[in-house]
Amino acid sequence: MTINNNGMFVRATPLLFGALFVIGLVAPFAVYPTFLMKILCFGLFACAFNLLLGFAGLLSFGHAAFLGTAGYICGMLVRDLGVTPEVGILGGTLAAAILGWVFGVLAIRRSGIYFAMITLALAQMVFFFALQWKATGGEDGLQGVPRGHLFGLIDLSNNIAMYYLVFAVFCVGFFIIHRTIHSPFGQILKAIRENEPRAVSLGYDVAKYKLLAFVLSAALAGMAGATKTLVFQLASLTDVHWHMSGEVVLMTLLGGLGTILGPLVGAGVIVSLQSELADKVGSWVTVIMGVIFVLCVLLFRRGIVGELQALIKRAGIN
């Protein structure tokens, strides 16, 4: 996929990251913590998705499967087996990684649009499974997941404590993504995205790299899903529905495909919109989402962060 390109790549300085980190630390005292946690969870989800689309050029239309599966697994582990929250998150992440491997093996046999449709179809199978399996609670969802005590010590029913856990999880995920992009592995992914035949001719096992990227992205999406389950104390069919797969594409696209901060910004905007619009426009929410989608694709494909970077760059040149 020809996504904004090399120059556009975020050269986010350590200073910017440092400032954001500090903002992240103090934010829960200024803004409603549950709302922030939701943004961070979806932000991580979108970042994981962006790793695949923005840097490896693979459009998955089935990422909800990883978010949802990890959420269910984490919920079952914590609620029914009584494990501590960190084990729940790890368990969910692992489940998503395994599922990601299965999806990946099947989907990377085709590329482009076929890849998107295959992931969509596979995710639909996961949806039906979640709907019919008794343990997921079907349409009622998996309810009443306790937040529990982190490491058996820190009580997470306190919103602020929970927030810092979510923030930590986000930072870990974000760090992994950042490292991946700037590692030799990330460079090879970009090479594959730009020119697959050339990468093949250079002797790279393209399929293996794609698969690895897919599994990594799935695992991180799972991490977001598992954490989200703890925050809201529930996992439901919404998280495995294909609308969710569409939503994460929208977040990434709106924020800026292939930029490192874009997905977080996109998630922030969409989550805020959904919560604001819920009171005001009633039934028009989907229409508005659709309009944003269309506008993004037609008018600003670089997304919010991408456009900002372009603006800064232009200002720098002049």
Footprint of other proteins on this chain (CB under 8 A)?
Answer: 1-3, 32, 34-35, 38, 59, 106, 109-110, 112-114, 116-118, 120-122, 124-125, 128, 131-132, 134, 137-141, 143-144, 228, 232-234, 236-238, 242, 246, 249, 253, 274-275, 277-279, 282-287, 289-294, 296-298, 301
For other proteins, give the closer residue by CB, 294 or 312. 294
22 vs 125, beta carbon nearer other proteins: 125
CB of 111 to other proteins, least distance (A): 8
Find the shortest distance in angstroms from Cβ 226 to other proteins. 14
Tokens 């009580």 correspond to: 155
- Between 87 and 285, name the residue whose CB sits nearer to other proteins: 285
Nearer to other proteins, 93 or 245 (CB): 245
Other C-beta atoms closer than 10 Å to the C-beta of 87 total 16
User: Which residues make Cβ contacts (< 8 Å) with residue 62, sequence separation at least 6?
Assistant: 103, 119, 120, 121, 122, 123, 124, 126, 242, 245
- What CA–CA distance (Å, rounded) separates 292 from 283? 16
Q: What is the CA radius of gyration of the chain?
A: 19
Shorter beta-carbon distance to other proteins: residue 200 or 287? 287
Write out the H or E segment, with its range, that includes residue 154: strand 154-155
The CB-of-21 to other proteins minimum distance in angstroms stands at 25
Nearer to other proteins, 147 or 170 (CB): 147
Measured CA to CA, the distance from residue 247 to residue 210 in angstroms comes to 23
What's the rounded Cα separation, in Å, for the pair 55 and 33?
31
Q: Angle at Cα 44 formed by Cα 39 and Cα 47, nearest 5°?
A: 120
Measured CA to CA in angstroms, residue 244 lies from 60, 61, 147, 165, 316 at distances of 12, 9, 24, 24, 38
Write down the least CB distance from residue 217 to other proteins, Å. 16
Minimum gap (Å) between residue 300 Cβ and other proteins: 12
- Residue whose token pair is 């997921």: 136
CB of 225 to other proteins, least distance (A): 11
Q: Least distance (Å) from other proteins to the CB of residue 65?
A: 12
Residue 63 makes CB contacts below 8 A (sequence gap 6+) with 45, 48, 49, 119, 123, 217, 218, 221, 244, 245, 248
Residue 22 CB, shortest distance to other proteins, in Å, is 25
Nearer to other proteins, 286 or 318 (CB): 286
Q: How far apart are CA 251 and CA 44, in angstroms?
A: 11
Q: Which of 180, 219, 208 is nearest to 99 (CA)?
A: 219
Closer to other proteins by CB, 94 or 273: give it. 273
